């Protein structure tokens, strides 16, 4: 079957309109993944597409249904659609001590930020954004908090305790991603207020990466909710997912890397690779000699 050509269901065939939308979804996700369902929906609003979708609830539900079909048929890998709003809890257990050392080797990270002059965290308004930016978060080893709307007191307290342990007197900068709407522009202000309340002697500031007023003027929007009394100056609202996922990741990467020392990522990767090999060698020794035998061999 040619690339980007969705398979037809057995039984009642899809309409040509649905097939065209499915083709557009395949092209969008082939070029950039992972994305959330809502990110894909916003990409389908592009008026230059052969069949752009309307910015309506019906249009969004259409994308949801098609993405279910495309994943279940195997045309879209499940990993291409992010969903960090639901997750499982697992306890790591090992059949052999060598397996634990192998896991430690692959999880081992050198502290990329130990020599940085600034302590940096990333906060998002939406939990669904986590899966979209997770690769950048993992690569740059920067803490990430998903507020899920207005942050709970517990989350803010936990974050403040984490900052208190790790900032070591350095300035603290929060890189924030959230909606441009009367509530969304207040959430990051509330986060900042809570953190400063817990840490009154720390220099804490916030940088809204997305969505800003300038970005909102260039992205798909909708009228503010009727009856909303907050921020009367915001006439049209924009969701963070309206920014293409690849552009959002690039924006986050640039902002975070600006706080790192020169060549920090390159240097830490080299150190990690070397020390991971040492841990892997220990794992091989433990598997061959047992824990006690490996300890004795190292001591001798």
* Residues 167, 50 share a domain: no
* Residues 224, 273 share a domain: no
* Residues 218, 133 share a domain: yes
* Residues 294, 204 share a domain: no
> 223, 238, 257: which is the final residue of a domain?
257
Q: Are 274 and 261 in contact (CB under 8 A)?
A: no
Hey, is 256 helix, strand or coil? helix
* Residues 226, 159 share a domain: yes
Cα–Cα distance between 122 and 268 in angstroms, integer? 21
Residues 254/128/25/41 CA torsion (nearest 10 deg): -100
* Residues 226, 194 share a domain: yes
Would residue 294 count as lying in a domain?
yes
Strand partners, 145: 123
Would residue 1 count as lying in a domain?
no
Would residue 44 count as lying in a domain?
yes
Would residue 5 count as lying in a domain?
no
Would residue 182 count as lying in a domain?
yes
Would residue 85 count as lying in a domain?
no
* Residues 269, 230 share a domain: no
Would residue 4 count as lying in a domain?
no
* Residues 106, 177 share a domain: no
For residue 242, the domain's CATH number is 3.40.1360.10
Q: What is the DSSP letter of 211?
A: S
Cα–Cα distance between 264 and 188 in angstroms, integer? 29
* Residues 175, 287 share a domain: no
* Residues 155, 105 share a domain: no
**CA of 208: how far to CAs of 92, 106, 214, 230, in Å?**
36, 33, 12, 19
Would residue 291 count as lying in a domain?
yes
Q: Who's near 188: CB < 8 A, 6+ residues apart?
A: 123, 125, 174, 176, 178, 206, 208
Q: Where are the beta strands (DSSP E) in the chain?
A: 119-124, 144-146, 172-177, 204-210, 222-223, 236-237
Hey, is 296 helix, strand or coil? helix
Domain count of the chain? 3
* Residues 273, 226 share a domain: no
- From first to last of the 300 residues of the chain, give the pLDDT tens digit: 445 655 554 544 568 899 999 999 999 999 999 999 999 999 999 999 999 999 999 999 999 999 999 999 999 999 999 987 777 888 999 999 999 999 999 999 999 999 999 999 999 999 889 999 999 999 999 999 999 888 789 999 999 999 999 999 999 999 999 999 999 999 999 999 999 999 999 999 999 999 999 999 999 998 898 888 899 999 899 999 999 999 999 999 999 999 999 999 999 999 999 999 999 999 999 999 999 998 888 887
The residue range of the domain holding 106 is 95-110+262-300
Q: Who's near 70: CB < 8 A, 6+ residues apart?
A: 6, 22, 25, 26, 76
* Residues 61, 101 share a domain: no
């Amino acid at each position: 079957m040619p690339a980007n050509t969705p398979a037809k269901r057995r039984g009642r065939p899809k309409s040509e309109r649905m097939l065209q939308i499915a083709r557009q979804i395949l092209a969008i996700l082939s070029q950039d993944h992972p994305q959330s369902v809502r990110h894909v929906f916003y990409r389908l609003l592009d008026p230059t597409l052969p069949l752009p979708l309307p910015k309506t609830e019906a249009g969004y539900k259409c994308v949801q249904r098609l993405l279910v079909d495309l994943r279940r048929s195997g045309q879209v890998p499940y990993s291409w659609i992010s969903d960090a709003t639901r997750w499982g809890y697992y306890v790591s257990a090992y059949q052999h001590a060598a397996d634990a050392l192998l896991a430690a080797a692959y999880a081992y990270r050198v502290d990329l930020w130990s020599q940085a002059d600034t302590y940096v965290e990333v906060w998002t308004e939406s939990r669904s954004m986590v899966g979209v930016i997770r690769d950048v978060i993992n690569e740059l080893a920067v803490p990430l908090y998903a507020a899920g709307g207005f942050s709970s007191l517990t989350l803010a307290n936990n974050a403040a305790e984490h900052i208190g342990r790790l900032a070591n007197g350095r300035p603290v900068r929060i890189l924030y991603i959230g909606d441009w709407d009367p509530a969304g522009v207040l959430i990051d202000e509330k986060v900042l207020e809570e953190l400063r309340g817990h840490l009154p002697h720390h220099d804490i500031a916030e940088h809204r990466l997305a969505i800003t007023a300038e970005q909102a003027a260039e992205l798909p929007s909708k009228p503010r909710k009727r009856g909303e009394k907050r921020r009367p100056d915001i006439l049209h609202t924009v969701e963070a997912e309206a920014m293409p996922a690849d552009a959002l990741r690039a924006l986050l990467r640039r902002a975070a890397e600006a706080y790192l020392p020169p060549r920090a990522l390159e240097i830490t990767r080299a150190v990690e690779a070397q020390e991971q090999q040492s841990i892997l060698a220990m794992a091989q020794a433990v598997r061959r000699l047992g824990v006690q035998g490996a300890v004795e061999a190292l001591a001798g």
